[in-house]
Amino acid sequence: MWLINSSIGRKLIMSISGIMLVLFLLFHGLMNMVVIFSADAYNAICAFLGANWYALIATKGLALGFMVHILYAMYLSFQNLKARGKERYAVTDKQDKVSWASQNMLVLGLIVFGFLALHLYHFWSKMQLVEIGHMLGKHVGDIDKAVDGAYWITYWFSQPVYAIIYLVWLSALWFHLTHGVWSSLHSLGLNNQTWLPRVKCISNIFATLVVLLFVSVVVYTYVYQNFVL
């Protein structure tokens, strides 16, 4: 199967799974923004995306996307390490045009993935998981708070330590996306001499906006809870 056996096929899978994840991030970020304007509206979205059949299917699809992206990243990195040969260069120097993020995508990805575990504990395990548990008859967690997403946002982001951890996480994500977004388009072949700088520029603006969507909620909640209220 050429998707697995050929290098460009493998890159295609990285690219498509990456684009899927970025589109999810865009949706997730836009959804989060709602909480700044109205906690009730945000909770309505949370209720809408609870343990319903469509939300569960989407969650499974998302988990699959993550797994494919991460496993392929590991596989590709291993192959690339092997292709480099046993002997390493004694002296290496960096090139001006090569971004730091592009050389460290695996490390950045692992940082993003590591914090993701914390994030799933903070929100998913308190919300959708509790609902799933109740549906299956296991009454663990507080079902009343399971649809109260605004409560959890306030609870975690009003604590400075978590606000900072999330900002560190989001900055790693930003670095990952500054290379990832344009690179995924490049791997799909959607680029040429004229569009190369444009695609890079548009992708970086897009990546920055996506990350800012998340940052704004963290910063807003922290400032509002600690200094305004």
Q: Which residues bind another protein (CB under 8 A)?
A: 2, 5-12, 76, 79-80, 82-93, 95-99, 102-103, 105, 179, 182-183, 186-193, 195-196
For another protein, the closer of residues 73 and 218 by Cβ is: 73
For another protein, the closer of residues 99 and 225 by Cβ is: 99
Closest separation in Å from C-beta 135 to another protein: 41
Closest separation in Å from C-beta 189 to another protein: 3
Q: How far apart are CA 19 and CA 179, in angstroms?
A: 12
For another protein, the closer of residues 168 and 196 by Cβ is: 196
SS3 187: helix
For another protein, the closer of residues 125 and 191 by Cβ is: 191
Closest separation in Å from C-beta 109 to another protein: 11
Tokens 């970025």 sit on residue? 22
Closest separation in Å from C-beta 110 to another protein: 15
Contacts 24+ apart (CB under 8 A), 176-180: 176/101, 176/105, 176/108, 176/109, 176/112, 177/22, 177/207, 177/210, 177/211, 178/99, 178/101, 178/203, 178/204, 178/207, 178/208, 179/99, 179/101, 179/102, 179/105, 180/18, 180/22, 180/105, 180/207
For another protein, the closer of residues 72 and 162 by Cβ is: 72
Closest separation in Å from C-beta 172 to another protein: 17
Q: How far apart are CA 162 and CA 174, in angstroms?
A: 18
